[in-house]
Amino acid sequence: MGMLDGKVAIVTGAGRGVGRGEAVALAAHGAKVVVNDLGASVVGEGADLSPAQEVVEVIRSRGGEAVVNGDDVSDFEGARRIVQSAIDAFGALDVLVNNAGILRDRMIFSMSEEEFDSVIRVHLKGTFNTMRHASEYWRTESKEGRQPRASIINTVSSAGLQGQASQANYGAAKAGIAAMTIIASLELVRYGVRANCIGPGGFTRMVGAAKQDVVVRHPDEYETFDRMNPGNSAPGVVWLASDDSIPVTGQVLRVVGNSLAVYKPWELGQQFQSTDREGNPTQWDPAEIGPTLHKFVFNTINPGIARLGIG
């Protein structure tokens, strides 16, 4: 018995790298998989169904069930067709894994409008598009008395959650995906849908495009454990897709190499109150903000500290 027996999953961007590893792993644990990949280049140009077809053949050769879909996630109607392809092929949809993406790296002062828009369109809008159509399907199922036990798993990156120079477009998209996932977890829980993120790592085509000395291999081509295998995050996706993770929603997991961690969301640090001489609440004086933060938060020296008598 597999952890995902009887479930139907979509994996976008599943022709190579992280997505390929996820699709193969989901199928190995019993899921029927729609392998979606437009087959574009790293920068989003062209189309080629052969990578997705190759993944389907790998899954079938191992006894699994899978079909190809070549629609573009960034196209609203294309995303609808991706969702419908799972229902048409397998009669249901239980798991949506959003992984499709492109890169257009450039420093912010050199980045063009098109370079920014194209990355946002594929990553952020593409994730919204598939979530939009899948959630509508699950909402209808719930209202008709067939309560889902469904899972959305969106791909994020340290570029968005921790920052990375030259990736303002990519990082903004990934941070937006994390926020959108948390919001979706609040909206969809009543319909039996949980929404979480996975933060993968490894030597992917995107990494290879940025670093010339990287050897890029398919996740299923590694014979022994390698920290840079882009398929190392796939077990986390399998778990989030399974019913074992039903209590978990609105979380961001990082699975890189053999390391597992959960990102903490934005949270407030120490709070300070501004008061007048009598201790009554009052609006902050801009001149007092710097000395307060430098002394108690940033641990730096600010001339205003002496003026305010802090320390």
- Taking the domains of the chain in order of start, what are their residue ranges? 8-262, 268-311
Q: What is the per-residue pLDDT for 202?
A: 84
Report the alpha-carbon distance of residue 279 to residue 150 in Å, rounded.
52
Q: Are 160 and 178 within 8 A, CB to CB?
A: yes
Instruction: For residue range 22-77, list pLDDT tens digits in order.
Output: 999 999 999 999 999 999 888 788 888 999 999 999 999 999 999 999 999 999 99
Please state the rounded mean pLDDT for residues 68-95: 98
Identify which has the larger pLDDT, 203 or 99: 99
Q: Give the homologous superfamily in CATH for domain 8-262.
A: NAD(P)-binding Rossmann-like Domain (3.40.50.720)
pTM of the predicted protein model: 0.91
Instruction: For residue range 299-310, list pLDDT tens digits in order.
Output: 886 655 545 555
Report the alpha-carbon distance of residue 276 to residue 258 in Å, rounded.
54
- Give the active site residues: 157, 170, 174
Could you please report the per-residue DSSP string of 103-118? ---B-TTT--HHHHHH
Instruction: For residue range 122-172, list pLDDT tens digits in order.
Output: 999 999 999 999 999 999 999 999 999 999 999 999 989 999 999 999 999
